[in-house]
Amino acid sequence: MPLHGLPVVAQGALVVSSVLSVVGSASGLALLRGTRPSELARFDSPRDGRGTRQLLLGNVLGVFGALLLYIGLVLGSMPMLMGVSTDDEGKAAALVQQTLVLACWLVERYLICGRPLPVLQSCCCALVWLGTTIIEWAGPRPYDNMSLGMPGQIAGCDGGFRSPFVIYASVWLTLLTFGSLLLVCGEEGTCVMSAETSDDDEDDLNRVTSSVADLHRVPHAFRRKALPVVFGMATSMSGILLATGSASNDMGYVVAGALLLMMAVLCAWDWLWRLEMNLATWGAVFQGFATTLRVIQGHFVFRDFRWDPPDVHGILVVYQFPGLQMFMFGMFVMYITLQFYLYTSTWRQWGDEFITGEAPIADLGLSSLSREVSVDVMEEEKLYRASSNRLCRGSSWWQWFLLPVCMVCILVGTHVPLIRTEFVLPDVTWLHDEAAIQKFEASHEPGQGHRFRDGDSYIDVITWLYDRRLPCSALVVSYNAMILPPLQILFFFLILLRPSFVPEELHQAMQGYVMNLAPMRFTQPSIMMLIVGIANMPGPGDSLFGGWFTSGYWFFLTYCISVMILAWSVQPKEDDCDRLVQSDQGRGTGLAVDSDLDLTESEVDTAEESEIRDSLQSTGLLIAAVCVATAVYLALTRPFLNFEYRLSGVVVHGMTPTILDLWFSIGSVSRFLMCFSAATCVFAPCAWIFFFALRMMPRYRERWLGHVARRAEPVVRPWVMCHIWAASFCLVYYIVTARNKAVVEVCAHVPKAPVGLVAVVCMGIGTYALIAFAKDKTRPAHLPKKSSVPNLPGGVCVWGLGPVAMVMFWGALLCSHGPTRPPTISSVVDLNSAVSRILPAVNRKLYAKIPESSGDCEAYWQYRARQGEVLISSPQSEMTRGCSGQSPLTHFTTMTGRSVTNVTALWAKGLNTLELANVKVLAPAANLSTAEQQWYLTISGLFTDVHIYLQVLVDGEEFLKGYMCCDNKLHFTLQVSAVCVPGVGFGSMHLQMLHMDKIDFVQRTEMVTSPSSSASFEMDYGTSAVVEQTIENFMTLKTGKLLMRHSDGSTSDTLGTASTVLSQIIDLNAGHHCPQHI
């Protein structure tokens, strides 16, 4: 629906709008590119004043170019404004919009530079265009009702904003705020991409060092990474605001979207003028981030993501298969391309230097050296290049063996279910006499129950999540199963192969990336362990919920362990660092630190200063370790979340476990995983802190204990996973709060005293900080040290702590001020209304679950065989198909005069024709004289086609047998009554027949006259109270007992168990055993 006042979009208008958007944006960018100050500086001629006029004209053209870019962005947003972004024309317009990448490359190559661009830029443009085109063509489309606005983001359970929306709003608003500050702030200084170096006494070698260091000195390094991200966030949020304003006819959203587009134009202006980057890089990086962040935003904000339905055909139509696989391939291409840019954004190949020839590529400062020194350096350089061109240098055979093991394990682990959970209802059996009841209670055979199992592979879960309107969770699962594993394997392959075309800086970046990513792969197995632990609470013997691990889980865990070992094995060793440092010194790269020519740390600092610094670091480490240990103890022993299972909004089960409880629950399924959890969260951190403390103490560095710590600390460090467990606990809360309202729900709430949850967060942050500190202190000397804080006004307080504080502020604000759901049931009237709404579904379940017949199935089978309905030679399984029971339904004996009459109901058929017409709860009458409450539940229903086969014996002789009822529909009304005592709960339930239709026993019946003959006749038994009483006793359970067999072999009375469960449910929902407000 277009915005109020705009005409309905014409056929093809959006495609034309996208074409004009590409042309206008490319033209505006070209003007901005050609009028930046450095391009106009050559026209500055103070003698004739033409420079001033050229500068003024250039500025005017620059403003005009920015206006053209803004118009192009607005034209590109027309599908959102017109409300047709999900149509075929909206998809075609999006595909046209991606050609802006190619347009920018063409403008830069042929109109501005007129010479070939660097291969890096051209390849990046091609990959981004390919990835974004596949994403727009094969990706799902949102179909949410945008007119709802913010109320449309309400979560399930008790309401509030959905956790994906909270995360999205907090992150986007924070980064846009600081992105606005970035546009008006200038970076102080430049980024030096080199290692820490010392002064050298030899001036010649020092000049070589400084000359090479200048090659790695890049201005505005942080801005190169931040501007594309800010642009992508501004354009993506602008689209969502424009779509919301169009759907709700709210101009406030439209104005906000237009302002964000202005911010995007300023980002492009800053990129082209201040950073002086070219259009090819802009098109690849900015468009890549814009498309990727728009996809991520859509999965956070929208719920109803769909591919095209199977009955639609066309060139732009993509079904879920293979659309999902193609969509993930496009996301993989974009992810690896943008990651490559972020790691290499300081390379000069991304700018204009390599195009204009201004980069000092070959100048190594050798001309100023003496002839002898120059020859030596050049010889060392040749030797280094020869050794560095050898493939697989530094790798071992077992690493190449472990790499395919990782590949096989992740393939199997993602295509096989990892865990299975089940919901088990116990067996319920009706027994008609005392002998059968005693026999049943004496048996301790475990009951099979009615099991509802669930378990899908990672690949199947992605489709399931999209179908259940959980696209954010689907994207996260897709990222973990289809994007990260191939990326990891590719990085491992390049690290082990070590080809010559991979620069050393990129090689080091890949080493650090795989090491940082490897521990995080254990997040998925940890979450699966927690789900199984929650499902098995309170432990063995629980007959309601359960879960276990499948073979796929062990494959996935093997993959995680193999990845961890590989990542640890490819890290640079300290022994290798010395050789690299010496080689770098010989080549004059300025990356050396510990050579004989450099000044040692003890020569720079006094002994007292070094001792004070080491003492302070050791004291700080000890205090941090104590704080983390306290947080771990509190996290393990205090409840961190309250879990509830709800059915139609009613809490039916609740638990408040601690982490130790969950570990013991996991141990009931797998002791190995319980021990693994304890080892990675308790024992490994203790051992690592011990080794790291020894490594940091100067007195032990040169002793044998220090050497052991130096070897053991890097080995133990990757297995310290307190932060991984903390992230897993938080992700469990995210998974629960991300779900939509449903009939069956799992809800989670923060306890009133959130000591456990706060301790979990502190445990994760503290462990992560300690590991980061250890990595920094033990970093090999030849590796460059990169500061994560930009050189901007305010420093770390503004640009480091500021975003964290703002994200926390927005998250707390949205969580505390989100829309709430009213209570589902607040009175008896609401309860009756809710029950009436689910009656149709209950009747369908009854028809599917109730057997067609019940009673003496063997006798029923023989009767059907005599009637020619079945073959007597059929297998035994056919006898019990559609029939349950091994004995008659009921037996009744009475005296009629001097005769003894025995009435036996052998079986009944047509039981699945039961329909419940009404179920109503009657509130107890107000009675101030007693605190007890008398509750009633009336159940009205009918059997549309039920027939009961009766056998009547008079004085031991068979008098008659046959189907005695019922040709007509049999209506009945049952009443269940129970007394609720405050502080105790509900007592035993009692069944009573309030009404049952008059049974007219007018049937064609066989009467046995002699052993060899029988006569058929019709006889009215409607006046026989004996048979009526028999049927009534059967339906009200007065002649037998309804028993429940649990999975552990125990037996309980069904009605008594129902009373106990009812008391527990009321206590969970109202806090009292008996309802207080009725």
CA angle, 138 then 141 then 145, to 5°: 175
Asked if residues 414 and 458 have their Cβ atoms less than 8 Å apart, the reply is yes
781 pLDDT band, cuts 50/70/90, is: low
Looking at residue 1029, what is its pLDDT?
A: 66
Q: Of 708-722, 866-880, 904-918, where does mean pLDDT reach its minimum?
A: 866-880
Q: Of 514-518, 618-622, 863-867, 892-896, where does mean pLDDT reach its minimum?
A: 892-896
582 pLDDT band, cuts 50/70/90, is: very low
Mean pLDDT of all residues in 1061-1069: 77
Quote helix, strand, coil % in the chain, to nearest 5.
60, 15, 25
Residue 1061 CA: distances (Å) to CA of 589, 1057, 1066: 76, 6, 9
Mean pLDDT of all residues in 17-34: 94
Write down the pTM of the prediction: 0.81
Q: Of 471-475, 620-624, 730-734, where does mean pLDDT reach its minimum?
A: 620-624
For residue 263, give the nearest of 197, 184, 154, 206 by alpha carbon. 184
For residue 461, give the nearest of 504, 408, 419, 410 by alpha carbon. 419
DSSP code of residue 431: E
pLDDT in tens, 125-166: 999 999 999 999 999 998 887 777 777 788 878 788 889 999
Side chain identity at residue 683, one-letter code? F
Q: Of 196-200, 837-841, 874-878, where does mean pLDDT reach its minimum?
A: 196-200
Looking at residue 541, what is its pLDDT?
A: 40
Residue 360 pLDDT greater than 50, yes or no:
no
Asked if residues 216 and 209 have their Cβ atoms less than 8 Å apart, the reply is no
Average pLDDT score over the chain: 80
Asked if residues 167 and 153 have their Cβ atoms less than 8 Å apart, the reply is no
Looking at residue 178, what is its pLDDT?
A: 94
Task: Report residue 299 as tokens.
Answer: 């999965």
Beta-bridge mates of residue 1018: 1004
Considering 85-99, 440-454, 826-840, the range whose residues carry the highest mean pLDDT is 85-99
DSSP states of 525-549: HHHHHHHHHHHTTT-TT--SEEEEE
What is d(CA 591, CA 572) in angstroms, rounded to the nearest whole number? 15
Looking at residue 146, what is its pLDDT?
A: 74
Task: Report residue 877 as tokens.
Answer: 């399984």
44 pLDDT band, cuts 50/70/90, is: low
pLDDT in tens, 111-130: 988 889 999 999 999 999 99
Looking at residue 819, what is its pLDDT?
A: 82
Considering 333-347, 561-575, 639-653, 1016-1030, the range whose residues carry the highest mean pLDDT is 333-347
DSSP states of 667-734: HTT-HHHHHHHHIIIIIHHHHHHHHHHHHH-HHHHTSHHHHHHHHHHHHHGGG--HHHHHHHHHHHHH
Higher pLDDT, 420 or 7: 420
Residue 829 pLDDT greater than 70, yes or no:
yes
Higher pLDDT, 213 or 888: 888
CB atoms within 10 A of CB 193: 17
7 pLDDT band, cuts 50/70/90, is: low
Residue 582 CA: distances (Å) to CA of 94, 576, 577, 632: 54, 10, 9, 44
> Alpha helices, DSSP H only, in 77-162?
78-82, 88-97, 100-106, 119-138
Burial of 11 (0-12, 13-18, 19+ CB in 10 A): exposed
Residue 577 pLDDT greater than 70, yes or no:
no
Looking at residue 1002, what is its pLDDT?
A: 47
Looking at residue 615, what is its pLDDT?
A: 67
Percent of the chain with pLDDT over 70: 79
Residue 190 pLDDT greater than 90, yes or no:
no
pLDDT in tens, 944-1001: 888 888 888 877 777 777 887 676 788 888 888 888 888 788 887 887 878 877 766 5
Percent of the chain with pLDDT over 90: 31
Beta-bridge mates of residue 901: 894, 954
Looking at residue 518, what is its pLDDT?
A: 92
What is d(CA 381, CA 384) in angstroms, rounded to the nearest whole number? 5
Side chain identity at residue 336, one-letter code? I
Task: Report residue 176 as tokens.
Answer: 């846009």
pLDDT in tens, 711-721: 898 999 999 99
DSSP code of residue 977: E
For residue 694, give the nearest of 684, 685, 680, 704 by alpha carbon. 704
Q: Of 185-189, 562-566, 727-731, where does mean pLDDT reach its minimum?
A: 185-189
Mean pLDDT of all residues in 471-482: 91
pLDDT in tens, 782-817: 666 665 667 788 888 888 889 999 999 999 999 888
Looking at residue 601, what is its pLDDT?
A: 44
Higher pLDDT, 417 or 818: 417
Looking at residue 598, what is its pLDDT?
A: 42
593 pLDDT band, cuts 50/70/90, is: very low
Residue 592 CA: distances (Å) to CA of 509, 585, 589, 597, 599: 19, 5, 8, 10, 11
Considering 481-490, 692-701, 903-912, 1032-1041, the range whose residues carry the highest mean pLDDT is 481-490
Looking at residue 209, what is its pLDDT?
A: 39
**Long-range contacts (CB closer than 8 Å, 24 or more residues apart) made by 268-271:** 268/29, 268/32, 268/66, 268/69, 268/231, 269/32, 269/62, 269/66, 270/183, 270/223, 270/227, 271/227, 271/228
pLDDT in tens, 47-98: 555 667 777 888 889 899 999 999 999 999 888 766 665 578 889 999 999 9
pLDDT in tens, 387-430: 556 777 778 899 999 999 999 999 999 998 988 888 777 777 76
Q: Of 52-61, 373-382, 476-485, 627-636, where does mean pLDDT reach its minimum?
A: 373-382
Residue 191 pLDDT greater than 70, yes or no:
no
What is d(CA 415, CA 343) in angstroms, rounded to the nearest whole number? 32
